[in-house]
Amino acid sequence: MSLRDAAVRLSYERLCRPYLKRLKTPTATQERYLRKVLKRCKDTVYGKEYGFADIKSVEEFQRTVPVTTYASMEPYIARCMKGEQNVLFPDKIVYFMTTSGTTGAQKYYPLSEQRVRVYAHDAARRTLFFIVHGNHFDMMDGAIIMLHAPLSTGEKIGPYDVAQASGAFTAAMAAHLPGLDYGVGENYLVIPPFEVNAMTDWDKKIYLTARYAVAADVRMTAGLTSVMVSLLRKISTEFHDQLLADPALDAETKTKLRRVSTDGIINLQELWPNFTLFGGGGTSITPFRRVIRDLLGDVEIWDGYGATEATMGAQIYPDKGIVLTVDKTFFEFQPLEEGAIPLPLSDVKTNTPYQVLITNDTGFFRYLIGDIVTFVALNPPELGEITRMKTLVNIVGERMREEMLLRALEHACERQGTSFLDFALLSETTTDVTRYQLFVEFTHVPSDLQEFAGDVDSHLQSLGFYYEFFRKSGALGIPLIIPVQPRGFEVLLRTMGKDLESGKVPRLLTPELSRMLPRL
């Protein structure tokens, strides 16, 4: 065993082994973590207001502390913006993070020193799980593509700089993990250089990242799934001629590009024969799996569950689901029925959808995070599809969830021999019909869209009792499939004033947004 491999295993024993032990008793681990949060935050403004010092149990915590949203937390965040400390957490505010969220509304969160440490620790742990559990020690012989938003937006709130969430966290990870150096060459692990990721011009950033990537022995990507897939597709299909004409690219790399290209399409599998892992997160990976395989071959795909507000979960074994990070966030799960009471982890069941509430020691207490999850296993707590709470479609009472739409589109794509990159929905209600208009960006459009719509419809009926009932009663019509132009959702985000990283495609469109979406 090399010294490097020995060091990795030593880090694994120190960072990962205790977590695996805590996963064996998730309920007890959650209760210990909640006690830690209450003790650490008892003297904050929020902790004093809700008597954290006197809370002795999970049940008492749920009775005493209200469920919160961003709107209900804004008065406390506003105090932080004025420079006041010890409002939501006891440690120093580093800067403010901004995120557009899934609804498009701008949100600002104070970033604590503790949140930075937790993120860096969790990122290191996820990487170690992949290396050790996947037996990929040779990953460190090559490069990782890590594309993210710039750290600074140029904005200030009071005394604090404002940062994009992914830029803030990646910079934090680099600062707290000394071996993670940005650059290109034998002493570097991550590309592109930090100054490229600091750019606000996304078109230029993506091209320069591609230029660094084609010259490197890339073995892994890490980042928002949709962003990484977009980057890989651009490298493969759009940049061939530009790269060959680029005077900054060395002759040896250009020769390699010519060898691995056909008709201007770069074969990424030949370009990076040692590529091992597509690491994603931030959005459902379901629509992207087939595209990733088409681009990279039979590589491992590891998913993650991240959020601006908290450390949520990660895949820790090959071919397994996402396991909740029970030692860094206290979770509650609210059934979707109206008036349902949030449940602790100990009371959840498999195959039941829940809204997610989180509590941590970095400023969030019983915070409704906006996601819907379903458990596929409980010991350890393993999640299936993770979707957005705002995408609960209920035109006539059908209670359609994003997860079901994703599954139906994936099923129809498999039958039609295609795949899709993203989708959005607009309900259509006229005197003649009530139905879903599904705007879909395909890798290639199915030859028979009516047959595709029928496949989607039949699968939705098999997944949802209420959908099936309203379809058979005639209250809902068969969905209308509207193909979107290539890069159409990227155009929509830019039209909305967002870039690839700072905004997620709104699943539920307004009529105005639907008119912005370029169609075939």
Backbone phi and psi for residue 446, each to the nearest 5 degrees, phi listed first = -60, 145
Answer for the pair 215, 186: CB distance below 8 angstroms, yes or no. no
Neighbours of 330 (CB within 10 A): 29
pLDDT at residue 181, as a whole number: 42
The share of the chain scoring above pLDDT 90, in percent, equals 53
Q: Between the CA of residue 30 and those of 57, 354, 403, what are the distances in Å?
A: 11, 18, 27
In sequence order, the 6+-apart residues with CB closer than 8 A to the CB of 58 are: 30, 31, 34, 344
How does residue 224 score in pLDDT terms, banded at 50, 70 and 90? confident
In sequence order, the 6+-apart residues with CB closer than 8 A to the CB of 380 are: 23, 24, 26, 323, 324, 326
**Separation of alpha carbons 425 and 404, rounded Å:** 13
| 15-24, 96-105, 256-265, 437-446: the lowest-pLDDT one | 96-105
- What would the two tokens of residue 452 be? 């595709």
pLDDT at 31 exceeding the cut of 70? yes
How does residue 499 score in pLDDT terms, banded at 50, 70 and 90? low
pLDDT at 358 exceeding the cut of 70? yes
**Separation of alpha carbons 340 and 337, rounded Å:** 6
pLDDT at residue 374, as a whole number: 92
pLDDT at residue 102, as a whole number: 45
Backbone phi and psi for residue 278, each to the nearest 5 degrees, phi listed first = -100, 110
* pLDDT tens-digit readout, 146-197: 887 777 777 888 888 888 777 777 665 555 554 444 443 344 578 888 788 8
pLDDT at residue 186, as a whole number: 43
Backbone phi and psi for residue 334, each to the nearest 5 degrees, phi listed first = -105, 120
Q: What is the DSSP string of 84-127?
A: --SSS-SS-EEEEEEE-TTTS--EEEEEEHHHHHHHHHHHHHHH
187 compared with 502, residue with greater pLDDT: 502
pLDDT at residue 501, as a whole number: 59
Burial 240-250 (b: 16+ CB within 10 A, else e): beebeebeebe
What is the CATH number assigned to the segment(s) 392-516?
Answer: 3.30.300
Describe the strand order of the beta sheet including 152-157 as a list of residue ranges: 107-112, 93-99, 160-164, 152-157
**Separation of alpha carbons 109 and 309, rounded Å:** 8
> How long a stretch of residues is the chain?
520
Q: How would you write 169-218 as a 3-class SS string?
A: HHHHHHHHCCCCCECCCCCCCEECCHHHHCCCCHHHHHHHHHHHHHCCCE
* pLDDT tens-digit readout, 296-334: 999 999 998 988 888 899 999 988 889 999 999 999 999
pLDDT at residue 184, as a whole number: 39
Q: Across all residues in the chain, what is the average pLDDT?
A: 88
How does residue 22 score in pLDDT terms, banded at 50, 70 and 90? very high
pLDDT at residue 106, as a whole number: 76
Pairing of strands 343-344, 93-99: unpaired
**Separation of alpha carbons 460 and 322, rounded Å:** 25
493 compared with 184, residue with greater pLDDT: 493
Closest CA to 425 of 513, 307, 487: 513
In sequence order, the 6+-apart residues with CB closer than 8 A to the CB of 429 are: 395
pLDDT at 359 exceeding the cut of 90? yes
**Separation of alpha carbons 118 and 173, rounded Å:** 10
Average of pLDDT values for 354-373? 94
* pLDDT tens-digit readout, 104-145: 567 889 988 888 888 888 888 988 999 999 898 888 888 999
Amino acid code (one letter) for 144: I
Amino acid code (one letter) for 97: M
Q: Between the CA of residue 116 and those of 93, 94, 119, 120, 141, what are the distances in Å?
A: 10, 9, 5, 6, 27
18 compared with 119, residue with greater pLDDT: 18
Neighbours of 449 (CB within 10 A): 16
Collapsed DSSP state (helix, strand, coil) of residue 395: coil
Closest CA to 504 of 163, 98, 70, 101: 101
pLDDT at residue 292, as a whole number: 93
The share of the chain scoring above pLDDT 70, in percent, equals 94
pLDDT at 405 exceeding the cut of 80? yes
pLDDT at residue 502, as a whole number: 56
* pLDDT tens-digit readout, 231-289: 999 999 999 999 999 999 999 999 999 999 999 999 999 999 999 999 988 777 877 88
Neighbours of 379 (CB within 10 A): 10
53 compared with 507, residue with greater pLDDT: 53
